[in-house]
Amino acid sequence: PPAPRPAPRHDPFGSPFMNGTVKGESFFVPMTCIIGGEEQAGLGWNMLMECLGAGRGVSLPAGAIAASKMAVLAVGGYARIRKQFKVPIASMQGVQEKLAVIGINTFGMMAAQNMFNSFLEAGETPSCLSAVMKHMCTERGRISINEGMDVMGGAAICNGPNNFMAGGYGSIPVSITVEGANVLTRSLIIFGQGLTRSHPHLLGLIEAIQDGDNLEGFNKELTNIIKHAFTNLGRSITRGLGAQVTFRGGDLLAYHETHMSRMAANFAFCADCGMTMGGGLKTAEFISGRYADVLSNLYFGYAVMWYYKNNRNVPGIDAMFDATMTQIRYDVQEALFGIFGNFPIPGFGRLMQLPCFPRGREFARPTDKQRAAVAELVSTPNPVRDFLTENTFVSKDPTDRVAMIVKAAPMCFEADQILAKCRKEGRRSPTPEEQAKIDAAEAMREEIIQVDSFPKLMGNEHNTAWMKPDWGVDAQPKVTIEKAEGKQQSSSA
């Protein structure tokens, strides 16, 4: 009998992501094959949306987080191994800038992942947060991979068995595109749909409108919305004043929690103000996207605080936590100011800013000192680096480049410490034991920095005719230029 058959498959950048359809004509599907049985017939789309509501917050973020953790492990280690001008490139501030981004992104994504998984374990299906997770993690995964590519240089752009970055670089756009492209997710879904479900009174107002003649219910919910807006206005003012007398010294968690609580109130107030746009808010994607940025970073901020509280026993984690929260706080502020400066109703943006940021911008990106501290944690042997790279796969093959970096990074760090100690002690010579460690590290270093190269490309030798240019000057037909007859006429101004 006729049966369904696999249709042609797509090839998404060579990544193992099955993508295609199933086709067939005149074949029979028994009712027993319907998931859930006959009662669930016709509810396939609902099931898909429910699966997507949880699944897109797990699988795609997991891939992005794995790529970012690999960047910490391998790129951080490579930066400590490779030297330029006799200095590990991890000590160069330009490279530290890249490593800090990788470290901050990885810590933030791990926190968000663990909190989201705890919600699922509790039986929740937070569809809006799954969109936040999908968007935020895949975007940060892309940034981490790009920063890692910059640090690795030629080793990351030359294909070959030793290039551990190319696969992630090619596959991360797949994660960004599938299960709701990030452009759509950010500009339409996170805030546009999340506001309806999250606001305590908006859904009731919509239901009252749908009833047709429920004027009493409409007035009740509208009054509640107005009261809610004034409550959030009061919270924005009072929490903003409280944040002004909170200082970083002492309890880091309490300091950041005060500012996040203030910004959560700011967001709630601005979301209420956004409803003055009516249905136009969903199609005002510039504004809706910025609201999504605020909401997404607020979730990340609370996740990072929760994660830090559960793991503050890890030595050195305070510096990573502080830098990550500083970046998140700055991102929330910039998204809010984007709303203030572009709100379509004249004067409303300024009215929103006054109770939220009356003195203008208050927060900056992580300082150079903070970024240098994070880069040090990413590139040297320490408990935070071990924490960030926990459960990261490393091959047992001793010739695997990542496995070699994992082995060599602490060796090279120790060798550099020995050489620094010798210089400090009057440029003394290393002891035989110290010299053996230095020689072993240098041998590993020399092997690891080599870039893949091949005697043939695309099955052809390099020195044959196919590699010789046919477009150069020598390959063009010779042109004879004859001397013009007569004398050149002189000209005068």
What residues act catalytically? 179
Query: Is there a contact between 320 and 375 (Cβ–Cβ < 8 Å)?
Result: no
Q: At what angle do helices 285-311 and 252-274 cross, to 10 degrees?
A: 160
DSSP-assigned states of every residue in 317-360: HHHHHHHHHHHHHHHHHHHHHHHHHH-SSTTHHHHHHHHH-TTS
Long-range CB contacts (within 8 A, 24+) of 23-29: 26/2, 27/1, 27/2, 27/3, 28/1
Q: What is the CA radius of gyration of the chain?
A: 30
SS3 state of residue 24: coil
d(CA 183, CA 135): 9
- Span between the terminal Cα atoms of the chain, in Å: 94
CA distance 442 to 408: 9
Contact yes or no for 166/89 (Cβ under 8 A)? no
Residues 6+ apart with CB under 8 A from 38: 31
Task: Tell me whether residue 42 is exposed, middle or buried, using C-beta atoms within 10 angstroms of its C-beta: 0 to 12, 13 to 18, 19 or more.
Answer: exposed
Q: For residue 79, how far is the Cα from the chain centroid?
A: 21
* DSSP letter (8 states) at residue 474: T
The span from the CA of 357 to the CA of 104, in Å, is 26
Task: Report residue 35 CA to chain centroid gap.
Answer: 35
d(CA 186, CA 290): 8
Distance CA 349, CA 352 (A): 5
Strand, coil or helix: what is 122? coil
